[in-house]
Each structure stands twice: as C-alpha cells, then as structure tokens.
Chain A
Amino acid sequence: MKDHLQPDHSCDVCKPLRPANSGLFGGPVLGRREFFKIAGTGVAGSFVVPMFAKEAKADTAVGGEIYGHARNLIYIHMQGAPSHVDTFDLKVGSWTPADFAPEVIGNGFLFPKGLMPTIASQIQYVTAIRSVRAPALVHGLQQIWTQIARNPTSLLGKIAPNICAVVAREFESQRTAAQKLPGFISLNGGNVVSSGYFNARYTPFVANGSTGGLGNLTNFAGQTTFDRRFQMLQELDGENRINSPLGDPVLDMDSFYQQSKGMMYNAEIDAVFRLAAADTQRYGVNNAQTGFGNACLTARNLVKSNLGTRAIMISIGGWDNHTNIYSAAGIYNPARQFDKGLGELIKDLAATPGINGGTLLDETLIVWMGEFGRTVRTANGATTAGLNSGAGRDHFFQQFACFAGGGVSGGRAIGSTTSDGFAVQDPGWSEGRPVVNEDIAATIYSGLGIDYTKTLHDDPYQRGFEYVPFASQGAWKPVKEVFQRSAAPERPKLNPRRR
C-alpha cells in the first residue's frame, strides 16, 4: 500500500483517479474513498483494472430481415396477464357473457365486440398472433422477460435494458438539437424494466400527462436566475462532467442534468403533457378520465410532437382475474379502459399525417401483450364450465400478442389454438412452431428497421449483449406474417408430439 500513498508514483490504478497531475478536484491527493478503493485492490484488483481498461469494440450483426420502417414504438404491457380466450383469442362457450357480443369482424377475426367496441371499430389495423406460448407462469419473472426478451435470471438478464431502451439508443443518432425529450418514456408505469447497463440517458422518463400538465418543469428561483445558475455550474464543474475521469456514474448524472434542463421552460414539452379535458374524457371510460386513457393520450401527443421520444411503454394492470372474471371488478374493468384508451389512440394516429407522407399510425408500431395467458379448462369444484372454483381463470401458458400500425397488415389473426384455447393448433407462421417472447422482440425490432441480430460489445461482463439472444444463429425470428398478408406458401403444421 505504501507506493499508492506517494503522490507522484506511477501506477495504472491511481493514475485515472488523479487527473491533471493534481489531487482529485484539487483536494487531497488521496481522499477517503480513494484510499479504500485502492486498499481494496489487494483483493479486488481484478475488477478495477478491467473497468478502466474497458475499450469500445464494434457492434456485430449477421443481417437480420427488416420487415418495416416504423419510427416510433408504443409497447403496451398488460400486467397481470389477460385471459386470451376472452379477448384476442376469443373462445365462445356457455361461460361467455351475452354482452361480449362475439362477432367475426375484419378478415375472419372472432372478437368480443361488446367488450371492446372501440378496438373492434379499428380492427383493420390490428393483427393478433394467437400461437404465443409463455415460458413461465410467474408474474414478476415473466413481466421482465417480455420487456428484455431473455431469461431474467441469466447473467445478462440482470443488466439487460428494456426493448424500448434499445430502440431509443438505436434512434438516438437521429436526434436533432430541438428534440429535448428522452428517447424512452414510461407512462402509467408499473414494474417497468429500465435501461440496464446502457447510459442513463436511455432510462425511461417516468411521467404521465394530466389536465394540469407535468410538475417540476419550472424552478422556484425563476427562469432567469436558474439559467444563470446552471451556466455557473457548467463553468465550474465542466471539467468533472465532460469526459469525466470518474466514468459512467458521473456521465449518467450529467445526462440527467442536461436532459432535465432541456425540458424546463419549454412550451412545446409542456403542451405534450398538458391534456385537454375533452380528450381525457374521450380516452376514458364513461366520460371519466383513466390513468391508461391519459397515458394513451400522452403517447399520441408524444409521437405527434416529434420531440425526440421514440419508444413509449404503457402499463395497464387489472388482468389477474383469478376470481369472478365476468364481474364488473373482473375483466370488464381493465378491458373497458384498454378498449377506450387504445381504440381512440389508433383512431387519432390514423387520422393524423405523419412526417413521411403517410399517417402517424403508419409510422408508429403499436404492440400489446400480457406476461402470459389464463386457464381455459373447468377446474375441480368449479360451478361454471371453463372456469376455476372461484369463477375466475388462473395463470396459463397460452397467450396472444397483438401488433397494429407501422406496416402491420391488420384485420386478422395469425395462428390458431385448439377449440378450447389450451394449446397451439396451427403456429401460422414461417417457423412452424409456437411464438415466444424472443420472436416478439425480433418482430418489434424488424418492424422498426432495426437489425435484431445485432450484438453490442460494451456490456460490463464483456459477454456481448445480443438484442435477441441466439438470433444471430437463427434461433428466433421475426414473425414476418405480421407485416405480409401473403405469408410463405407452405405453412408447416406444428408437430403434435412436440406441442
């Protein structure tokens, strides 16, 4: 340890801590934290040196298929796991309430028109993949899996960014100086995966619009004073914040400061989050605003404003209907909110010109799914066919995933399940097997013009962060049928023994 205490000794560990041949920040040469940091190198030196030696390696990719060029992603997370056989893979039986009003709409799309009339009216834009299987039936695990497209308990799973953060990072180079909003915004959030090991600028800005607008966009000292203060901070602290010798934590913090400053006293940004009362009622239920409705409305404003946000995650809970699924407090509650919020969002985007000639809906890929589906068979002690003893449905592997807008060929379903919705009958896509979360992620990336086979080599474990694990080896694929009406000529049937 003696050598490290000499101010002018030459050492790879201490050198980065002492910029410009002085003590850190002009203070003592070896501060308390540095002392312990260096003292710890006796046992932990193997961590410290690679951290400072981290070098940037180029991305690798094998050239994944691109099926779309949407500019924006709206990813709706239906938390709690919606019943597939009551929504986008409807199975009609003695249990089905009359007011579901099942009807075949669009191009052979059996749909609960009474439960979700607004989405039904926009079904020409919507495609449901019905052959999706969930890998696990645990809310916490699976809610993360759907957001990071890999097993959350794997090594990279613990530091993996949200799919939305990857999209934000992919599109960051397209940002103009006037675009001040973060690339990734989370609305009505719950259990939202953040940016993982990425720079904090890709961390979701957690916000929700309201009729009162967004708080905290002003400073109590007033704009003039605050601007001068911020200027003084740049002048006195620039040396620590720009290309900081202290590395990622300081760079992350400075990203927050710069992003926040950019959003303050900005009339355009204020307008995005300040919702018109009439709009909140239209997106709400029974003319009353809902959290999900306001989130959809804010999402509409965000893509319309083109202020830098490219990936929006919206959460809506309430789908974990273990008991009394057909009561007002059961599936009706989330379904009504979902129907109005999403239905009005699709309607508005379809009626708004985009920046590339088409509509905003053409430029915006909307995806919605839960973490898994719900049971479909009559359980012991049940009094209603198809349900459990509490007149509800429990966690189950079969589920759906829906796509709309951005190049999606809508109005139909891809794949099918057995008559009771228990298992995949026809995968309905070129790979001829059930669709899993990794395929959904590949489909999202492909629809946004992003190479889903890309691997980044800047992760702290130096394992390589694959956008979709093993996709470069062809393990998972985009469901191209989402974007192409004429699917591959042959549609291989799933081998029943391996279902």
Chain B
Amino acid sequence: METSGLTNEQIITELYLNTLSRNPKQSEIAKVLPYFTSMGKQGAIESLQWVLLNKVDFLFNY
C-alpha cells in the first residue's frame, strides 16, 4: 500500500473500507493526514490500521 502510488487520502479511504466497510468522513481524513507527516507514510498506515482495529465501531459493531 505504501508503494502503490495511492494518495494519502486514498490510502485512508482504503483502510476504512477494508476494516469498517465504510468511507471515512472528511473530518476523519483531516485528523489522520498530519500523522503521515509526523510518523512517515509506513508508520501512519500501520498506526491507522491499529487504531481502526481498536475503534469501538470495529470491536462492537462488526
């Protein structure tokens, strides 16, 4: 995913769709994007996946 050529927004959308079966809200994309700067691309992808798996949506709704 890191080398797929997708934009950061597209990566976020993919992870949301894969994990929660829904598109991220604009506000959610805005919250995640800064982490691509602070943690680097790979770090942000890994962390977002961890967060999505620990989100209440995933733990309680699916």
Contacts of B57 in A (CB 8 A): 25, 27, 237, 240
By the criterion CB–CB under 8 Å, are B20 and A27 in contact? yes
8 Å CB interface, A17-41 against B: 24-27, 31, 33
The segment from A89-97, A203-211, A245-253, A348-356 that touches chain B is A245-253
Q: Give A27 to B22 CA distance when docked, in angstroms.
A: 6
Q: How many whole Å from B23's CB to the nearest CB in chain A?
A: 8
Contacts of B43 in A (CB 8 A): 225, 228
A229 interfacial by beta-carbon distance below 8 Å: yes
Mask: chain B, 18-62; 1 = CB below 8 Å from A; 0 = not: 001110010010011001001100010011101100111101110
Contacts of B22 in A (CB 8 A): 25-27
Q: Give A249 to B22 CA distance when docked, in angstroms.
A: 23
By the criterion CB–CB under 8 Å, are B61 and A232 in contact? no
Given A236-B32, A246-B56, A249-B60, the answer on whether A27 and B21 have CB atoms closer than 8 Å is: yes
8 Å CB interface, A244-270 against B: 244, 246, 249-250, 253, 257
Q: How many whole Å from A167's CB to the nearest CB in chain B?
A: 30
| Chain B residue at minimum C-beta to C-beta distance from A224 | B39
| Chain A residue at minimum C-beta to C-beta distance from B38 | A228
By the criterion CB–CB under 8 Å, are B55 and A240 in contact? yes
| Chain B residue at minimum C-beta to C-beta distance from A27 | B22
Q: How many whole Å from A220's CB to the nearest CB in chain B?
A: 11
By the criterion CB–CB under 8 Å, are B56 and A241 in contact? yes
Partner of A229, one of B21, B28, B51: B51
| Chain B residue at minimum C-beta to C-beta distance from A221 | B46
By the criterion CB–CB under 8 Å, are B61 and A33 in contact? yes
Contacts of A249 in B (CB 8 A): 60
By the criterion CB–CB under 8 Å, are B35 and A232 in contact? yes
8 Å CB interface, B3-26 against A: 20-22, 25
- Total interface residues in chain A, CB < 8 Å: 23
| Chain B residue at minimum C-beta to C-beta distance from A225 | B43
Contacts of B48 in A (CB 8 A): 232
Contacts of A26 in B (CB 8 A): 22, 25
By the criterion CB–CB under 8 Å, are B47 and A236 in contact? no
By the criterion CB–CB under 8 Å, are B35 and A24 in contact? no
Q: Give A72 to B14 CA distance when docked, in angstroms.
A: 51
By the criterion CB–CB under 8 Å, are B51 and A232 in contact? yes
Contacts of B38 in A (CB 8 A): 228
Q: Give A67 to B22 CA distance when docked, in angstroms.
A: 59
Partner of A225, one of B31, B39, B51, B59: B39
Contacts of A33 in B (CB 8 A): 61
Q: Give A25 to B56 CA distance when docked, in angstroms.
A: 9
Q: Give A257 to B20 CA distance when docked, in angstroms.
A: 21
By the criterion CB–CB under 8 Å, are B61 and A27 in contact? yes
Q: Give A31 to B61 CA distance when docked, in angstroms.
A: 8
Q: Give A176 to B31 CA distance when docked, in angstroms.
A: 31
Contacts of A27 in B (CB 8 A): 20-22, 57, 61
Contacts of A490 in B (CB 8 A): none
Contacts of B28 in A (CB 8 A): 236
Mask: chain A, 174-217; 1 = CB below 8 Å from B; 0 = not: 00000000000000000000000000000000000000000000
Contacts of A241 in B (CB 8 A): 56
By the criterion CB–CB under 8 Å, are B61 and A228 in contact? no
Q: Give A33 to B61 CA distance when docked, in angstroms.
A: 7
Contacts of A250 in B (CB 8 A): 56, 60
A233 interfacial by beta-carbon distance below 8 Å: yes
Q: Give A17 to B35 CA distance when docked, in angstroms.
A: 31
Contacts of B25 in A (CB 8 A): 26
A55 interfacial by beta-carbon distance below 8 Å: no
Contacts of B46 in A (CB 8 A): 221
Given A27-B22, A228-B39, A229-B51, the answer on whether A236 and B31 have CB atoms closer than 8 Å is: yes
Q: How many whole Å from A415's CB to the nearest CB in chain B?
A: 52
Q: How many whole Å from A449's CB to the nearest CB in chain B?
A: 38
Additional A-B contact list (16), CB under 8 Å, known A25-B20, A229-B51, A232-B48: A24-B61, A25-B57, A25-B61, A26-B22, A27-B20, A33-B61, A228-B35, A228-B38, A228-B43, A232-B31, A233-B54, A235-B31, A236-B51, A237-B57, A240-B56, A253-B56
Report, nearest first, the 9 A-B pairs whose CB atoms are least far apart: A240-B56, A25-B57, A229-B47, A233-B51, A235-B31, A237-B55, A27-B22, A232-B51, A229-B50
A residues contacting B by CB (< 8 A) are 24-27, 31, 33, 221, 225, 228-229, 232-233, 235-237, 240-241, 244, 246, 249-250, 253, 257
B residues contacting A by CB (< 8 A) are 20-22, 25, 28, 31-32, 35, 38-39, 43, 46-48, 50-51, 54-57, 59-61
12 contacts between A and B (CB under 8 A): A221-B46, A225-B47, A228-B47, A233-B50, A233-B54, A236-B28, A237-B54, A237-B56, A240-B57, A241-B56, A246-B56, A250-B56
